[in-house]
């Protein structure tokens, strides 16, 4: 009677994002076998680094991947989405730039600037979380407030259109650390992943978040502080916004409050959905969302590599996304399950007959 | 009463991955009869109903309406064939009016003849004697009336077969009587009614025939007068019942054995505004009784801090304590199994294992997760101890039957090793076998020194287990019965207010 589910069954949720990435890769292989060549080359600053489309996909998806991690948690706990992440990342980036422009840029000031923008982003996260958890406002409406005013706040913090910052330290964060051939943003995403894994390993955050997301009343009667868990999820997403805002600033060397990480909230939500996580909350797999983020970036890079005019990229993207979400939809899954069942039954019959 | 066969199901088979839910089951329904479908949890009642109503497809077998074979692939097919269903949870729209609920979605025309609709609704309500007005908002009707409106909606679609799945589980005695009157009325109009319930008394009150299922197989079809209650129970359980009454002997012996474990003075909460006093001794089993809405659940929820506590003082083992919210109560060794299993108990999508360890985990704290291995061991231990039927510890709790879900929740609280366990309607909506198991478990726990407060709508159940009954009426405690005064008669009289 006691049967453990296999690895495959436990991670079935990851099949769709993995398959979509795989399909895009195969498509690219046929289109242009050199698409995936990775080579070592020397860049402008004299570092030996890895280059190639795969690397730039992983690199380019970094901000999105970090946001998708936080968005997964908010989605699971609140059953809704935060549409203010792009705006909040702009605010965080703006704080980062403001502190760095105040004096000479040293490793210490960078750390201080980062910690400060984490604190600011966490406060905004608590603001969002309070609207959702205490005032029971729909997450999308609650975060609409910050979505609307966030980029203005980002402008107001620096009081300039696009302040620039330049320093070897920022270059190290935004592109390469001398001597390391892998782009730093990729390493930052990996670090975030490890931190989340450790948090899930050494706290009950996953269990509580899922319990609150599935049945808040029951969670409360089991002693869980449901309001606290929701606010915590928004706080953690705030930190993710700070991280991706800082990556973006370090990558570009300036902050344009109007365009930085524009519309990334929609991609983050999409990454969560492609990752097979229910947007209505409850059970979640963060790895799914991260894979979803890479799938989206692979798609974007593929389209640009095909020289699709940038004005048309979005339409092509939409078509592929329709395919992905339909394949991952409950109807298709059910049909697939029935098919597998029939095949299994047929096999069993065959054995019996033999 | 006519007696021509209206529905026949022959050789119905249905399997789910790993489970054979129905095997070669026959079922025959005659027009103008109430036919009770009985069986324990997992016997296949719900599956048979769902096959009949098109929710599940069948693997094999035939279904015929009035002798003509029909293919039922969806709930719409079922309705077109004249099969209507009213589920346990009412599936109407509470924010629409009674008339709208009765007629909405019935035809595809976009134009709604409001006046006509209200007139028809009024006629139907009158003819079925349902105390509701067409223009009234549905949510302002009592649960029983809502249930009757759901039935009226079904009946007006010219149904030949009406399936009532646990219609009485949230109704009080008066409401049940109202519902039965409606059922008798429909019977006389020639509707065949399939009646699924866990209340044996109701089966004998209203049914003409009984079909018993066990482990997905047909045990037999009987006329009510030919199957005494005890035989029915033993057929459902598949063994000669070591009679329910056998455990009643110990019931009265669970008197106060020791010092007071919990005492509240002037306790009140947002949901329970009238302050009350309450105490329970070590190893005592007591109970709150009263009609639905009399305040018995609200009282125990106040003890657990489930609603906002507004006043009163609490002492536990002689020491003054503060219980403001559930976690306070849990830390003091109080456990509360809530009345509403679906909304307040299970975390539907989480596994049996996660559901079992939840309360213990919360008590241990945020930074001290229970290891996978320990969680697995705890789950295995309680699955075995309470005989929970589940495919694995990884199975989501929502795919278990009601009784097994209840056992999982019970396991969750037992795992916290409480000194005081509150069980609010632990036996509602579950089968006779599990009911008996739970009653036995209560007595066993109390003999080991646990204090238990037990609430049930079935007075017999409370008389069997409790040594002291607190009687409530209109949100006030109106009496307390112990010892020889604990008789059904006395309880009824106290509830009704005829003195004790």
Does B337 lie in the same domain as B204? no
A138: helix, strand or coil: coil
Which of A14, A28, A3 lies closest to A301, judged by CA?
Answer: A28
**Hey, are the CB atoms on A3 and B391 less than 8 Å from each other?**
yes
Q: What percent of chain B has pLDDT over 70?
A: 91
Residue B116 is predicted with a pLDDT of 83
Residue B243 is predicted with a pLDDT of 46
Of A40-44, A178-182, A199-203, B205-209, give the lowest mean pLDDT range: A40-44
Residue B18 is predicted with a pLDDT of 62
CA–CA separation, A14 and A190 (whole Å): 18
| Count of pairs with CB atoms under 8 A, one residue in A, one in B | 85
Q: What average pLDDT does the structure give for chain B?
A: 85
Q: Is the pLDDT of residue A354 over 60?
A: no
Q: Which of B48-52, B125-129, B378-382 has the highest mean pLDDT?
A: B378-382
CA–CA separation, B321 and B315 (whole Å): 6
CA–CA separation, B2 and B190 (whole Å): 7
Nearest CA in chain A to B358: A222
Give residue-wise pLDDT tens across range B91-119.
788 888 888 888 876 666 666 678 888 88
Residue B497 is predicted with a pLDDT of 67
Tokens 């679906």 found at? B342
**Hey, are the CB atoms on B348 and A215 less than 8 Å from each other?**
yes
Residue B492, min C-alpha distance to chain A (Å): 32
Does B180 lie in the same domain as B48? yes
Residue A220 contacts B where some CB pair is shorter than 8 Å: yes
| Neighbour order of strands in the sheet with B420-424 | B334-337, B420-424, B451-455, B285-289, B468-473, B476-482
Predicted confidence band of residue A90 (pLDDT cuts 50, 70, 90): very high
Tokens 């792009």 found at? A86
Does B311 lie in the same domain as B207? no
Residue ranges in A175-310 assigned as alpha helix (H) = 184-202, 205-214, 216-221, 226-252, 264-274, 286-305
Residue A1 is predicted with a pLDDT of 37
Residue B414 is predicted with a pLDDT of 95
Among A3, A10, A221, select the one facing B326 at the smallest CB separation.
Answer: A221
Does the pTM surpass 0.80? The reply is no
Q: What average pLDDT does the structure give for chain A?
A: 90
Give residue-wise pLDDT tens across range A185-218.
999 999 999 999 999 999 999 999 999 999 999 9
Axis-axis angle for helices A62-78, A264-274 (nearest 10): 70
Predicted confidence band of residue B248 (pLDDT cuts 50, 70, 90): very low
Residue B349, min C-alpha distance to chain A (Å): 7
Q: Is the pLDDT of residue A322 over 70?
A: yes
Q: Nearest 5°: CA angle at A336, between A334 and A337? A: 65
Does B181 lie in the same domain as B307? no
β-bridge partners, A251: none
Does B294 lie in the same domain as B205? no
* Higher pLDDT pick, B230 / B81: B81
CA dihedral B92, B96, B102, B108 (to 10 degrees): -100
Query: For residue B369, what are the contacts with CB-CB under 8 A and spacing of at least 6?
Result: A201, A202, A203, A204, A207, B361
Residue A330 contacts B where some CB pair is shorter than 8 Å: no
Mean pLDDT, residues B32-38: 93
**Hey, are the CB atoms on A204 and B347 less than 8 Å from each other?**
no
Residue A6 contacts B where some CB pair is shorter than 8 Å: no
Residue B255 is predicted with a pLDDT of 47
CA–CA separation, B182 and B162 (whole Å): 12
Residue A7 is predicted with a pLDDT of 67
Domain boundaries A12-307, corresponding CATH code? 1.10.3470
Mean pLDDT, residues B205-216: 91
CA–CA separation, B381 and B383 (whole Å): 6
Q: Is the pLDDT of residue A168 over 70?
A: yes
Among B349, B393, B394, select the one facing A214 at the smallest CB separation.
Answer: B349
Residue B404 CA to its chain's centroid (Å) = 13
Domain of residue B418, residue span? 246-496
Give residue-wise pLDDT tens across range B417-455.
999 999 998 987 777 788 888 888 999 999 899 999 999
CA–CA separation, A327 and B328 (whole Å): 47
Predicted confidence band of residue B492 (pLDDT cuts 50, 70, 90): confident
Residue where a domain stops, chosen among B222, B240, B258: B240
Residue where a domain stops, chosen among B240, B269, B290: B240
Query: How many Cα atoms within 13 Å fall on the side-chain side of residue B369?
Result: 16
Does B445 lie in the same domain as B320? yes
Q: Which of A213-227, B149-163, B224-238 has the highest mean pLDDT?
A: A213-227
B209 φψ region: left (φ > 0), alpha (ψ -120 to 50), beta (else): beta
Q: Is the pLDDT of residue B157 over 80?
A: no
**Hey, are the CB atoms on B326 and A214 less than 8 Å from each other?**
no
**B residues 410-439 closer than 8 Å to A (CB):** 412
| CB A325 within 8 Å of CB A17 | no
CATH number of the domain where residue B74 is located:
3.40.50.300
| Neighbour order of strands in the sheet with B83-86 | B83-86, B161-165, B192-196, B34-38, B209-214, B217-223
Residue A68 is predicted with a pLDDT of 97
CA–CA separation, B387 and B31 (whole Å): 40
Q: Is the pLDDT of residue A128 over 80?
A: yes
Residue B37 is predicted with a pLDDT of 93
Q: Is the pLDDT of residue B272 over 70?
A: yes
Q: Pick the residue of A11, A205, A222 with the most B CBs within 10 A to test the interface with B by mutation.
A: A222
Does B256 lie in the same domain as B236? no
Residue where a domain stops, chosen among B212, B240, B268: B240
Token pair for B419: 């000194």
Q: How many domains does chain B have?
A: 2
Token pair for A168: 């070897």
Does B255 lie in the same domain as B205? no
- From chain A, pick out residues whose CB is under 8 angstroms from the CB of B347: 210-211, 214-215, 218-219
Token pair for B391: 């495919």
* Higher pLDDT pick, A140 / B476: A140
Q: Which long-range contacts (CB under 8 A, 24 or more apart) does A122-126 make?
A: A122/A235, A122/A238, A122/A239, A122/A242, A123/A238, A124/A84, A124/A88, A124/A91, A124/A150, A124/A238, A124/A241, A125/A88, A125/A231, A125/A234, A125/A235, A125/A236, A125/A237, A125/A238, A125/A239, A125/A241, A126/A231, A126/A234, A126/A235, A126/A238
| CB A303 within 8 Å of CB A28 | no
Residue A80 CA to its chain's centroid (Å) = 16
Does B336 lie in the same domain as B211? no
Does B185 lie in the same domain as B250? no
Among B347, B363, B392, select the one facing A215 at the smallest CB separation.
Answer: B347
Give residue-wise pLDDT tens across range B301-318.
999 999 999 999 999 999
Residue ranges in B172-218 assigned as alpha helix (H) = 173-188, 200-206
**A residues 137-166 closer than 8 Å to B (CB):** none
Does B65 lie in the same domain as B212? yes
């Amino acid at each position: 009677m006691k049967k453990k589910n296999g690895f495959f069954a436990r991670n079935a949720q990851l099949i769709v994002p993995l398959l979509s990435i795989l399909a895009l890769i195969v498509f690219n292989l046929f289109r242009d076998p050199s698409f995936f060549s990775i080579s070592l080359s020397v860049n402008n600053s004299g570092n030996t680094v890895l280059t190639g489309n795969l690397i730039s996909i992983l690199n380019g998806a970094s901000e999105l991947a970090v946001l998708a991690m936080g968005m997964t948690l908010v989605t699971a706990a609140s059953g809704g989405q935060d549409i203010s992440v792009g705006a909040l990342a702009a605010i965080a980036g703006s704080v980062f730039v403001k502190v760095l422009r105040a004096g000479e840029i040293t490793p210490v000031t960078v750390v201080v600037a980062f910690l400060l923008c984490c604190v600011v982003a966490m406060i905004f996260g608590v603001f969002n979380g309070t609207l959702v958890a205490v005032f029971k406002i729909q997450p999308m409406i609650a975060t609409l407030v910050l979505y609307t005013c966030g980029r203005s706040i980002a402008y107001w913090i620096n009081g300039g259109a696009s302040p620039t910052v330049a320093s070897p330290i920022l270059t190290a964060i935004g592109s390469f650390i001398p001597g390391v051939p892998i782009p730093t943003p990729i390493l930052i995403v990996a670090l975030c992943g490890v931190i989340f894994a450790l948090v899930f390993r050494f706290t009950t955050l996953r269990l509580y978040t899922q319990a609150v997301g599935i049945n808040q009343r029951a969670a409360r009667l089991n002693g869980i502080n449901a309001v606290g868990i929701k606010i915590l999820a928004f706080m953690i997403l705030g930190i993710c916004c700070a991280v991706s805002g800082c990556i973006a600033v370090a990558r570009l060397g300036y902050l344009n409050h109007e365009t930085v990480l524009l519309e990334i909230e929609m991609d983050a939500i999409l990454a969560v959905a492609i990752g097979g996580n229910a947007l209505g909350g409850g059970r979640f797999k963060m790895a799914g969302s991260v894979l979803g983020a890479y799938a989206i970036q692979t798609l974007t890079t593929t389209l640009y590599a095909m020289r699709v005019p940038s004005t048309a990229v979005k339409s092509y993207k939409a078509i592929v996304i329709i395919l992905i979400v339909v394949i991952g939809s409950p109807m298709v899954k059910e049909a697939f399950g029935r098919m597998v069942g029939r095949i299994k039954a047929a096999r069993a019959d065959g054995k019996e007959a033999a | 009463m006519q007696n021509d066969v209206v529905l026949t199901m022959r050789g119905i088979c249905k399997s789910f991955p790993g489970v054979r839910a129905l095997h070669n089951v026959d079922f025959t329904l005659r027009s103008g009869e109430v036919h009770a479908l009985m069986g324990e949890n997992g016997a296949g009642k719900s599956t048979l109903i769902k096959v009949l109503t098109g929710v599940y497809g069948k693997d094999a077998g035939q279904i015929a309406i009035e002798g003509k074979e029909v293919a039922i692939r969806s709930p719409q097919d079922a309705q077109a064939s004249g099969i209507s269903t009213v589920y346990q949870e009412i599936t109407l729209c509470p924010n629409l009016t009674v008339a709208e609920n009765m007629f909405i979605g019935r035809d595809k025309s976009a134009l709604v003849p409001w006046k006509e609709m209200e007139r028809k609704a009024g006629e139907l309500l009158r003819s079925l004697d349902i105390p509701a007005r067409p223009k009234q908002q549905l949510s302002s009707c009592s649960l029983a009336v809502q249930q009757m409106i759901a039935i009226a909606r079904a009946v007006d679609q010219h149904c030949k077969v009406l399936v009532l799945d646990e219609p009485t589980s949230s109704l009080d005695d008066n409401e049940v009587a109202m519902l039965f009157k409606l059922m008798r009325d429909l019977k006389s109009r020639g509707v065949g009614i399939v009646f699924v319930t866990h209340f044996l008394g109701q089966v004998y009150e209203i049914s003409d025939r009984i079909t018993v299922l066990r482990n997905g197989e047909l045990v037999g079809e009987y006329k009510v007068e030919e199957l005494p209650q005890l035989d029915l129970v033993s057929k459902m359980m598949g063994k000669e019942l070591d009679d329910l009454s056998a455990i009643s002997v110990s019931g009265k012996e669970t008197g106060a054995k020791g010092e007071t474990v919990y005492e509240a003075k002037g306790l009140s909460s947002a949901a329970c505004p009238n302050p009350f006093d309450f105490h329970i001794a070590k190893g005592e089993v007591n109970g709150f009784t009263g009609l639905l809405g009399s305040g018995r659940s609200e009282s125990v929820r106040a003890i657990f801090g489930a609603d906002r506590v507004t006043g009163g003082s609490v002492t536990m083992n002689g020491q003054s304590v503060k219980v403001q919210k559930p976690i306070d109560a849990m830390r003091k060794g109080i456990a509360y199994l809530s009345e509403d299993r679906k909304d307040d108990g299970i975390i539907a999508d989480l596994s049996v294992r996660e559901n079992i360890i939840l309360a213990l985990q919360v008590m241990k704290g945020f930074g001290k997760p229970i290891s996978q291995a320990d969680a697995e061991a705890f789950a295995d231990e309680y699955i075995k101890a309470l005989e929970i039927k589940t495919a694995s510890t990884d199975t989501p709790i929502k795919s278990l039957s009601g009784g097994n879900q209840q056992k999982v929740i019970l396991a969750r609280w037992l795992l916290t090793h409480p000194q005081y366990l509150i069980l609010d309607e632990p036996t509602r909506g579950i089968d006779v076998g599990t009911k008996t198991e739970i009653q036995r478990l209560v007595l066993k726990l109390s003999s080991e020194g646990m204090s238990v407060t037990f609430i049930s709508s079935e007075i017999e159940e409370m008389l069997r287990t409790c040594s002291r009954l607190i009687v409530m009426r209109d949100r006030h405690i109106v009496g307390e019965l112990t010892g020889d005064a604990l008789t059904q008669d006395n309880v009824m009289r106290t509830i009704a207010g005829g003195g004790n």
